Structure 1
Amino acid sequence: MSKTRKQAPARAQAATAVATCDGDGAAGDGAAPTGVSRRRLLGTAGATGLVLGAGGGAAGYAATRPEEPAALTTVGATEAMFHGKHQPGITTPLQARGHLVAFDLAAGAGRKEAATLLRRWSAVAKELMAGRPAAGAPDGPGHDTGIALDAGPSSLTVTFGFGRTFFARTGLTGRLPAALDPLPVFSADALDAKRSNGDLWVQIGADDALVAFHALRALQKEAAGTARVRWQMNGFNRTPGATARPMTARNLMGQIDGTGNPKPSEEDFGRRVFVPASPGKPQEWMEGGSYAVVRRIRMLLDDWEKLPVERQERVIGRRKADGAPLSGGTETTEMDLDKAGPDGRLVIPDNAHARISSPEENGGAAMLRRPFSYHDGITEDGTPDAGLLFICWQADPFRGFVPVQRKLDRGDALSPFLRHEASGVFAVPGGAAEGEYVGQRLLES
């Protein structure tokens, strides 16, 4: 669910709610994302909540500003909901800026300390996602820095997950899901252990870079003394609203990426993406949650860009200009995997990436891909350190990611242009109900 907040031109107007519908909320089992959104018209005193709702720096900044803050656009005003059946950041449309960060619990920290941290993190995330300052939980060290004072919610989402090692460190091995078993080794793996896995995982996304960084900084501060950063990765996507109509994003190879994603309107969407209820079983705390497979995939762009477009299209199996399958039609036309050309060869080659990764070729296995691109500069050999922060969501990685990646591993024409440099699997519990923090059903069970 999301809602859009706007500032009204009249100084005297306070927060007035107006109902509207935006359709980008969390999806239920087999149903399209639904959710009633609200437009909140805020007075120009910096959104009254910004002044009255903070106990620290941001409130002071707002109170002493010499001019009225600018009204928010739709991009800045859109607000994702913290509470719900599912955590935000899973079915949320792609965001312009993202941070992925993994933490390891500090020496001596266990279940009690982890619960306290998740309680603090949830309180901060709820405030920031509403566009309010991160005043911090009552028992936390939080103090808002004012970094995102003017930006509004900007579709901020914060998503929390648990790695396999978290369960031993908190004495919860009896609740460890089998879905967190280590992934198989794949031929394209060149994994850096220091940038893989972790006890805790946080995904931050927003449509404003300052809002995303603000959330990252606030959560890192809250973790002090309880958990330390293991690794962090920063990503980006096209800015929402840059095109007149929504379009599937392109990756750094210039290819439209995400056409074959499961759609919330599909009958089995919820079954594929979210964990069903399992009353009385050790993993019942995962109801409404999902499993995230996170892979840092470096693209060998210099090699890729040497290929003529026609060759690139045969590697992918789709036209580069519009994402349509080589068998014809538009981006959303189903691939005709049996169609042959005048020469008798398959129009979509048998080793094309789109063919090999399609559910039809993998016994129906599917996952919801929601990536960010990344660029971390130029390496010593002069090649760009750039590629994809691949994130996919599924009810079980061994029914979603693993069978597809195994198939790709055996002959994907795209594999020579990719290098998997980091990896992790995280159990992302269902959303927090009102009055709950994320992970409470695990940590207090």
Structure 2
Amino acid sequence: MAEQSTPKTPVPKTPAPKSPVSNTPASEPSSSGVVSRRRLLGTAGAAGLALGAVGGAAGYAAAPAAPTADRTALLNSVGADEAMFHGKHQPGITNALQAKGHLVAFDLAAGASRKEAAALLRRWSTTAERLMAGEASANDDTDVARDAGPSSLTVTFGFGHSFFARTGLEKQRPIALDPLPDFSSDHLDKARSNGDLWVQIGANDSLVAFHALRAIQQDAGRAAKVRWQMNGFNRSPGATTRPLTARNLMGQIDGTRNPKPSESDFDRRIFVPDAGDPAWMAGGSYAVVRRIRMLLDDWEKLSVTDQEDVIGRRKSDGAPLSSGTGGTETTAMDLEKTGGDGKLLVPINAHARITRPDENGGAAMLRRPFSFHDGIDADGVPDAGLLFVCWQADPLRGFVPVQRKLDRGDALSTFIRHESSGLFAVPGGAAKGEYVGQKLLEG
């Protein structure tokens, strides 16, 4: 839970949404042979949505089919928004936070080789490309999201440390993928940590996200089995009148000072350079994934003032405590400023102080988390917290130094527990006609 801000979620514009219907007649298949989810809106999907008022004992009566010109209005801008699968970097890294997310790790099946892994990544890439464009899956589509648009769906793929030995590619394993060091505050469940392969799914519609999850699981077939899966959420796009930094389940603004793509050193900090080592990771990044449980019952017993001292920022607007009664979330934090009693306004062990990049040799990472709530345990305590996902060009210069410092004296550590962990090498994006990881698996 480092002191950086998540990418802002844009407020969708309702008027004139992107059309979910192409110029191709609705009854025609797409160029790939499968009818687009968006085109289905013009046929049975549209009729199913157009339910009228209750009609006496007959129940719901279907309204007349909408004219073709009106079908483009069936999706608002949230549903019609589309992220691109192909590009220099994989999707799901710099995209704005999505409302729903699934993180899932797979282990290759016994006997699966480099050949089977390549075939799997090819299937997964094809499915991701189709679903992100609003198309049906090519293989036994479940039809869960037939009346939905792309909804900013992103699907991201990564390789764990164990993948390389399983596929005979040890010489291609990056040094940056060496296992993370042990931290004294860890309470890790090995069954919910690491994995040969990792997939991150995000979308602004829960059914679209679930549809992608099922398609990815089905595509795995006999080549790989699920090791662990985690589900998360964020604020829905358009829930606020203007983009705001996300709040976590503690009620705190979570993620101030995230690196921004507009900054001159953003790519250097987040992405592996084109001349990077190994070459197949050019344009890629490293994802650290941590399931961080928040001890909410203990946290909520604190006064707001005590909570603010733990974080180092005002709960109401995220302004640093050093700004007094003024300031905003973006106001520079004065770490040396004291109050009338001579005490530091930002406590020495405040989370915001410890995680500042300038307090950690410039270490920076792009945080892109999801909150989670997996019910109430046997003691009546909520199993809730943060699915922490951070991106960096090198975890040894990003996550590790910051977490080591947090491990030595972060006031927040009393109220959180790291329960699972993973580190994954996420290669650059696939060019048109390629699949993710092709340079590694066929190089």
Name the TM-score, length of structure 2 as normaliser. 0.87
Name segments (4+ residues, structure 1) moved above 2 Å: 38-70
- For the residue of structure 1 that corresponds to 2:213, the secondary structure is helix
Corresponding residue for 2:322?
327
Q: Distance in 1 between matches of 2:225 and 2:21?
A: 40
Equivalent in the alignment of 1:384: 382
* Residue correspondence of structure 1 range 333-344 to structure 2 within 5 A: 333-344=331-342
Match of 2:286 among 288, 291, 295: 291
Relative to structure 1, is the Cα distance of residues 308 and 150 closer, same or farther in structure 2, using a 3 angstrom cutoff?
same
The 8 Å contact of residues 29 and 36 in structure 2, kept in 1 or not, is answered as: no
What is the aligned residue count?
A: 402
| Structure 2 letter corresponding to 1:83 | H
Q: 1:143 corresponds to which residue?
A: 140
Cα separation, partners in 2 of 1:202 and 1:46, compared to 1, 3 Å: farther
TM-score (norm 1): 0.86
Q: Which runs of 5+ in 2 are unaligned?
A: 1-6, 9-15, 48-64
8 Å contact from structure 2 (residues 35, 135) kept in 1: no
What residue is the counterpart of 1:245 in the other structure? 242
Cα deviation code 1:5-59 (max 9, x no counterpart): xxxxxxxxxxxxxxxxxxx99xxxxxxxxxxxx9853448998498535548978
Q: Quote the Cα distance in structure 1 between the aligned partners of 2:202 and 2:282.
A: 23
Unaligned runs of 5+ in 1: 1-23, 26-37, 136-141
Which of 1 and 2 has higher RCO (CA within 8 Å, sep 6+)? Answer: 2
C-alpha distance 50-356 of structure 1, shift in aligned 2 (>3 A): farther
Is 1:258 matched up with 2:261?
no
Measure, in 1, the Cα distance between the counterparts of 2:27 and 2:330: 43
Deviation string for 1:165-205 (max 9, x for gaps)? 00001110000011111111111111000000000000000
Q: Which residue of 2 is the match for residue 21 of structure 1?
A: none
TM alignment of 1:207-222, pairs within 5 A = 207-222=204-219
CA distance in 2, matches of 1:203, 1:353: 27
Identity %: 70
Q: Counterparts of 1:140-219 in structure 2 under 5 Å?
A: 142-219=139-216
Q: Is contact 2:36-2:135 (8 Å) kept?
A: no
Q: Distance in 2 between matches of 1:312 and 1:225?
A: 49
Kept after mapping to 1: 8 A contact 2:354/2:405: yes
Q: CA deviation at 1:146?
A: 1.2
Instruction: Check the 8 A contact 1:61/1:146 in 2, yes or no.
Output: no
Q: Retained in 2: the 8 A contact 1:54–1:134? A: no
Amino acid at match of 2:334: D
Query: Structure 1 residue 278: deviation in Å?
Result: 2.5
CA offsets 1:385-426 (integer angstroms, 9 cap, x no match): 000000000000010000000000000000010100000000
2:113 matched to 1:98? Answer: no
CA RMSD of the aligned region, Å?
2.2
Deviation by residue 1:192-230 (Cα, 9 ceiling, x = unmatched): 000000000000000000000000000100001100000
What are the superposed Cα offsets for residues 222-254 of structure 1, whole Å, 9 maximum, x if unpaired? 001100000000000000111111000000000
- Partner of 1:421, secondary structure, is strand
For the Cα contact (< 8 Å) 2:19–2:80, is it kept in 1?
no
Residue 61 of structure 1 and its aligned partner are, at CA, apart by 9.5
- 2:181 match: secondary structure: coil
Cα separation, 2, equivalents of 1:334 and 1:189: 31
Q: Which deviates more from structure 2 when the two are superposed, residues 46-55 or residues 395-404?
A: 46-55
